[in-house]
Amino acid sequence: MTDMYLSVSLEAKHDFDTDAVTRRLGVEPTQIRKLGTPMHPGHDALYKYNSWEWDTGHISADDAGELIAQAAAMFQSRATVMRELADEYGGKWAIVLDGYVHSGDAPTVLLPPDFVEFCAAIGAIFQYVIDISYDYSSEGGADRGTAEDRPDTHRG
């Protein structure tokens, strides 16, 4: 099973009016990141960009179709405004499908043609990030053998 979410964000390496993005899109963000603010409380790492972000929230599924459909329903009709915002603020839209595979295979990702056209219309990048967990306990714990013995070894 895979836990995953999909986010849609406007990102720029300089400050921009995130409240104006919210007003013009008519969509409340799930997160705002500000240049120079800490990534995590108590840590020194700082954000190197600003972003306005909306996400689907996490779901457990083996197919990303539901997440893509949620994002499409929320944003496809707003493509013109999204492109205008990116141009005005010198930013870039990013659509990220992020997940963590606990067991089984990585989720199926089929991008419908109209969603691909939407991504192109707003000048978005699409990123697919999947982390895969492998349980070695059934193979004798810490002694995992050689790389050739492990099924998780990927060769190019």
> Is residue 143, in this structure, part of any structural domain at all?
no
Average pLDDT of span 75-104? 93
* CA distance readout (Å), 101 to 4, 92, 131, 134, 138: 9, 28, 6, 9, 17
> Is residue 148, in this structure, part of any structural domain at all?
no
- What number of other Cβ atoms are within 10 A of residue 6's Cβ? 23
pLDDT, tens only, 65-87: 889 999 999 999 999 999 999 99
pLDDT tier, 134 (very low <50, low <70, confident <90, very high otherwise) = low
> Is residue 144, in this structure, part of any structural domain at all?
no
Q: In this predicted structure, what is the pLDDT of residue 151? A: 44
Q: In this predicted structure, what is the pLDDT of residue 19? A: 97
> Is residue 32, in this structure, part of any structural domain at all?
yes
Least confident span in 43-47, 49-53, 129-133 = 129-133
- Read off the DSSP letter of residue 23: H
Q: What is the pTM of this model?
A: 0.78
Average pLDDT of span 83-98? 96
Domain tally, the chain: 1
Give the whole-number percent of the chain exceeding pLDDT 70.
85
Give the whole-number percent of the chain exceeding pLDDT 90.
53
pLDDT tier, 131 (very low <50, low <70, confident <90, very high otherwise) = confident
Q: Mind giving me the DSSP string for 86-155?
A: HHHHT-EEEEEEEEEESSSSPPB----HHHHHHHHHTT-EEEEEEEE----GGGTTT----GGG-TT---
CA 20 to chain centre: 22
- pLDDT of 31 strictly over 50: yes
> Is residue 46, in this structure, part of any structural domain at all?
yes
> Is residue 89, in this structure, part of any structural domain at all?
yes
> Is residue 142, in this structure, part of any structural domain at all?
no
> Is residue 69, in this structure, part of any structural domain at all?
yes
Q: In this predicted structure, what is the pLDDT of residue 129? A: 86
Tell me the residue range of the domain where 40 lies.
2-135
Instruction: Provide the phi-psi class of 57: left if phi over 0, else alpha when psi is between -120 and 50, else beta.
Output: left
Instruction: Give the β-pairing of 92-101 and 2-12.
Output: antiparallel
